[in-house]
Chains A and B, each alone.
Chain A
Amino acid sequence: MLLPAPRRLLFHAAIGAAFLLMLAPVAMVMIISVFRQEIVSFPPPGLTLEWYVNAWARQEFARGFLTSLQVALLATAIGVPLGTAAALALQRSAIKGKGALNTLLLGPLAVPGVVAGTALYMFYLRAEFWLDRDLTATLEGLVAAHVLLTIPWTVRLVSASLQGLDRTAEEAAANLGARPLTVFRRVTLPMLRPGIVAAALFSFIQSFENLELTLLLVGPGRTTLPVAMLSYLEFRIDPTLAAVATVQILLVAGLMLITDRFVKLSRVV
Chain B
Amino acid sequence: MGSLVLEALSKRYGSSTAVERVDLEVAQGEMVALLGPSGCGKTTTLRMVAGFIPPSGGRVLIGGQDVTRAPPYARDTGMVFQSYALFPHMSVAQNVAFGLEMRKVGRAERDERVMEALRLVRLDHLADRLPRQLSGGQQQRVALARALVVNPAVFLLDEPLSNLDAKLRGEVRMEIRALQQRLGLTTLIVTHDQEEALTMADRLVVMERGRVRQVGTAEELYEHPADPFVAGFVGRCNLVSGRLEGGGFRAESGALLRCDSTGAPADAALLALRPERIRLDPDPAGEARITAVTYLGAQTEYHVEQRGTTLLVTRPTPPLGDPMRRLAVGDAVVLSWDAAAVRLLPAA
Seen from chain A, the residues whose Cβ lies within 8 Å of a Cβ on chain B are 166, 168-169, 171-179, 182, 186-187, 190-191, 193
Contact = CB atoms under 8 A, between A and B. Distances in A.
B86 A169 contact: yes
B232 interface: no
B81 A178 contact: no
Contact of A177 (B86, B88, B103): B103
A196 B85 CA distance: 22
Interface in B74-112: 77-79, 81, 83, 85-89, 98-99, 102-103
29 contacts: A166-B83, A166-B85, A166-B88, A169-B85, A169-B88, A171-B50, A171-B85, A172-B85, A172-B87, A173-B98, A174-B51, A175-B73, A175-B77, A175-B78, A175-B147, A176-B78, A176-B150, A177-B73, A177-B102, A177-B150, A178-B73, A178-B98, A179-B73, A182-B102, A186-B87, A186-B98, A187-B87, A190-B89, A193-B89
A47 B77 CA distance: 72
A173 B87 contact: yes
Contacts of B103: 177
Contacts of B81: 168, 171-172
Contacts of A174: 51-52, 71-73
Contact of A176 (B52, B83, B89, B102): B102
B73 A169 contact: no
Contacts of A172: 79, 81, 85-87, 146
B98 A191 contact: no
Nearest to A171: B52
CB-CB nearest 10 A-B residue pairs: A177-B102, A176-B99, A168-B85, A172-B85, A174-B72, A190-B89, A175-B79, A169-B85, A168-B81, A177-B73
A176 B85 contact: no
A174 B47 CA distance: 12
Interface string B140-174: 00000011001000000000000000000000000
A168 B50 CA distance: 13
A187 B102 CA distance: 13
Contacts of A168: 81, 83, 85
A182 B98 CA distance: 11
Of the listed residues A168, A169, A171, A172, the one surrounded by the most CB atoms of chain B closer than 10 A to its CB is A172
Contact of A191 (B77, B89, B146, B147): B89
B98 A176 contact: yes
A250 B60 CA distance: 62
Contacts of A173: 87, 98
B86 A175 contact: no
A43 to B, nearest CB: 50
B73 A191 contact: no
B102 A178 contact: yes
Contacts of B86: 169, 172
A165 B103 CA distance: 26
Nearest to A175: B79
Nearest to B104: A177
Contacts of B83: 166, 168
A169 B72 contact: no
B89 A175 contact: no
Given A174-B73, A175-B78, A169 B102 contact: no
Nearest to A179: B73
A183 to B, nearest CB: 8
A168 B79 CA distance: 11
Nearest to A183: B73
A179 B104 CA distance: 13
Contacts of B89: 190-191, 193
B71 to A, nearest CB: 7
Contacts of A176: 73, 78, 98-99, 102, 146-147, 150
